[in-house]
Amino acid sequence: MTFTHRHLLGIEHLRQDEITTLLDLAEDYVTLNRATQKHGDALAGLTQVNMFFENSTRTQASFELAGKRLGADVMNMAMQASSITKGETLIDTAMTLNAMHPDLLVVRHPHSGAVDLLAQKVNCAVLNAGDGRHEHPTQALLDALTIRRAKGRLHRLSIAICGDIAHSRVARSNIILLGKMENRIRLIAPPTLMPAGIGEFGVEVYDDMAEGLKDVDVVMMLRLQRERMDGGFIPSSREYYHRYGLDAAKLAHAKPDAIVMHPGPMNRGVEIDGTLADDINRSVIQDQVEMGVAVRMAAMDLLARNQRALQGGVA
Ligand code: ASP
């Protein structure tokens, strides 16, 4: 098995063959999740703790379901109501939890790098469920699985990532993953939402949707991350939708069989037209959610195997 990591902190640390190993295992879990009897035992006896310091709907639910389907005892910590609000540091909270011997810690945090820091302090496997604008590895992996299933491959595709690139961890993890798998990546955003120096990542940069979407295979839309903006980055939502919102007219510049993606939560009428988002002939947004559970099952399964191997058990 080629996946030797102790933690899943970012796509940055994964090799191409490790990404493929994880996606192949996730395929098995797609099948299991579609069966009537959905239980596996890869995490039986293990304790999974979800610590979300930032709001989440689908990611937290997806990790919870993934753990339960594989037999883990899953605990969700209500971080807003936790000791953090009483002044405890992130590290003290982590050390307290560590003393209870969890096996898998799933962490989302508003600060870039906070999850890496935490991983250095605990004994268990840590999975990054999104840290600031840094990385969101399981999102990029579920996007990759969705693309691979829809297009039959995950290389030599032309993929446009559109919208608030500057504040998006989803964009960052996807740029790294899709680049490692040898795809052509186009970023489309207003100049205010395009990070400086992004060209160094080997991507093509556009500020016009018609030009950027020309003949692409995949269109990935992003939400405006208003919670990470400290000023006015766009004139108005209406103006933004007019220039950068994906509708049928703009999508017509892409290949006729191009798929439409969005990590959610989506703002209809801001970054995407509601009818297009619901069009099952073009939109794979619901598939992304389905793949999310399978990818998280695969990620936790692989990390648990590595942990057992480290402890001298059966790998
Ligand atoms: N759910 C994704 C994230 O946590 C995307 C978003 O919030 O816009 O980054």
Tell me if 109 CB under 6 Å of ligand 1.
Answer: no
- Which of 49-58, 64-73, 230-239 holds the top average pLDDT? 64-73
Mean pLDDT of the chain: 94
Residue nearest to atom 1 of ligand 1 (CA): 264
For residue 9, is pLDDT > 70?
yes
pLDDT, tens digit, for every residue of 17-47? 999 999 999 999 999 999 999 999 999 999 9
Nearest alpha carbon to residue 6 among 304, 313, 301, 315? 304
Kindly list the strands in the beta sheet with 73-77, ordered across the sheet, starting from the edge strand earlier in the chain.
73-77, 47-52, 104-109, 125-131
Separation between Cα atoms, residue 12 and residue 177, nearest integer Å = 8
More confident call, 186 vs 232: 186
Separation between Cα atoms, residue 191 and residue 205, nearest integer Å = 10
For residue 301, is pLDDT > 90?
yes
Separation between Cα atoms, residue 189 and residue 164, nearest integer Å = 7
CA-angle at 279, arms to 274 and 283, nearest 5°: 95
Separation between Cα atoms, residue 138 and residue 295, nearest integer Å = 7
Tell me if 261 CB under 6 Å of ligand 1.
Answer: no
Residue nearest to atom 8 of ligand 1 (CA): 223
Residue among 52, 112, 136 to mutate when testing ligand 1 (max atoms within 8 A of CB): 136
Nearest alpha carbon to residue 311 among 150, 49, 123, 140? 123
Nearest alpha carbon to residue 141 among 39, 54, 18, 43? 18
89-98, 104-113, 174-183, 204-213: lowest mean pLDDT where?
89-98
Q: What is the pLDDT of residue 315?
A: 46
Q: How far is the CA of 14 from the centre of ligand 1 (A)?
A: 21
Contacts of 220 (CB under 8 A, 6+ apart): 143, 159, 160, 161, 162, 174, 261, 262
Tell me if 169 CB under 6 Å of ligand 1.
Answer: yes
Which atom from ligand 1 is nearest to the alpha carbon of 54?
4
Residue among 170, 193, 220, 225 to mutate when testing ligand 1 (max atoms within 8 A of CB): 170
